[in-house]
Amino acid sequence: MEIKFFGLDRQYENLKEEILDSTHNVLRTGIVMDGCYTQEFESWLAEKNNSKYAVTVHSGTSALEIQAAYYKKQVVIDQNDYAPTVAIPAITFPATANAFARAGWHLHILDCDQYGLSIADEYYDLVVLVGIFGHSVEKLYDNHWTTTACTVIEDAAQHWLSNDCRRLGKSASISFDPTKNLGNYGNGGALVTDDSNLHNFALRWRNHGKGGATTNTGSNSRMSEVDCAQMLVKTKYIDKWQKRRAEISDYWIEKLNAAGIRTLIDNNNYTGHAYHKFVISVDNRNKLISKLKNCGIETKVHYNTPLHEMQCFMNTTKPDLLCNASSLCRRLLSLPIYPELSDSEVEYIADTITKEIA
């Protein structure tokens, strides 16, 4: 049995006629940017996220860059020499930190708990919550940030479908990278918020800063009409896909935990999870990767190096090399999880892992 880590080809086979029809419906109009499909997808996205506004952009990274620029303007007003502080978790994709470092923020990299979620109780000008692997950030928000005066936003690229899409921060960035639960066939992302000023700022930013009473710098950062039309096809199935991901996770939690294998989704944090990744923590990770590969199961290592161990972030405020994040990153292994996996494949993956680790 051969099981690839991603199931994009399987998804396309299931949606092929609808995807091709939606593409044709766009191209025959001659309107390929900023049309009705973009507006419809943004409306769906805002409603799905219980937010007033959604702005589609070229990528989740672009959405982060917009927020980094916007909130810096709010913090440093009348403080020209002040570098605002932003708290970033040690385990996240570098884009989370890059967006704020390039905008001139002072980074504080935070250690994590046993699930890879950031832990801290200090004051920062801005806190970026990241639900790594799809974890809900609700408990993290409640436990650490509700009693401080800092601004909280979400890098929700992996967790935005958790907790019925209830947004906790003042704004959130979303990624439609092909590997995400709701993925585009290329780049794509969005910003969601209730803040009308941020909404207007983002609209100008994605169009080189043009429009409105004032002009800000910006970039060319949009999703095409074809992108949005194809994404609208997928929105019809996302709830069904999420339910299937939950079923797979439920089965693996029971099977693997019974065999003494720690999963980063367990009975303590299962509720509200987005199931973006299913990750286990194991000894001798490379040996297990090789064994699973020989059995036809492709796996991935995500975040092999935490941010504070990367050369480009060595000068930031950060934890030491003996922190939880450094230890955890050396043990984590991601299993293939997507709705198109058959029951027999789901069972085969669990049985093979328990056999190889035993």
DSSP secondary structure string for all residues of 168-213 = -SSEEEEE--TTSSS--SS--EEEEES-HHHHHHHHHHTBTT-SSS
Do 63 and 190 contact (CB within 8 A), yes or no? Answer: yes
Same domain? 22 vs 166: yes
d(CA 196, CA 37): 22
Q: Which of 235, 250, 279 is the last residue of a domain?
A: 235
Identify the pLDDT of residue 273.
93
Least confident interval from 108-117, 251-260, 334-343, 344-353:
108-117
Q: Which has the closest alpha carbon to 169: 132, 127, 109?
A: 127
Same domain? 147 vs 285: no
State the amino acid at position 80 in one-letter form: N
d(CA 337, CA 4): 10
Could you please report the per-residue DSSP string of 65-114?
HHHHHHHHHHHSTT-TT---EEEEESSS-HHHHHHHHHTTPEEEEEPB-T
- pLDDT tens string 260-291: 999 999 877 666 899 999 999 999 999 999 99
Residue 271's Cα: distance from chain center in Å?
18
Same domain? 68 vs 91: yes
Given a cut of 80, whether residue 144 has pLDDT beyond it is no
d(CA 280, CA 265): 8
What region does 106 belong to: left with phi over 0, alpha with psi -120 to 50, or beta? beta
Identify the pLDDT of residue 280.
97
CATH number (domain holding residue 227)? 3.40.640.10
Given a cut of 90, whether residue 344 has pLDDT beyond it is yes
Q: Which of 189, 206, 235 is the last residue of a domain?
A: 235
Tokens of 339: 């709705």
Do 156 and 166 contact (CB within 8 A), yes or no? Answer: no
Total count of domains within the chain: 2
Answer whether residue 93 is part of any domain.
yes
Given a cut of 60, whether residue 128 has pLDDT beyond it is yes
Do 165 and 206 contact (CB within 8 A), yes or no? Answer: no
Nearest-5° Cα angle at 172, 147 to 341: 115
Buried b (16+ CB within 10 A) or exposed e, 163-198: bebebbbbbbbbbbbeebbbbbbebbbbbbbeeeeb
Structural domain containing residue 291: 238-357
d(CA 324, CA 314): 17
- pLDDT tens string 297-319: 999 999 999 999 999 988 888 88
Do 67 and 153 contact (CB within 8 A), yes or no? Answer: yes
pLDDT bucket at 356, cuts 50 / 70 / 90: confident
Identify the pLDDT of residue 222.
93
Tokens of 160: 């935005």
Looking at every residue in the chain, the average pLDDT score rounds to 91
Going from the C-alpha of 145 to that of each of 69, 140, 153, 280, the distances in angstroms are 22, 8, 11, 28
CATH number (domain holding residue 244)? 3.90.1150.10
Identify the pLDDT of residue 71.
93
pLDDT bucket at 171, cuts 50 / 70 / 90: very high
Identify the pLDDT of residue 353.
97
Same domain? 259 vs 213: no
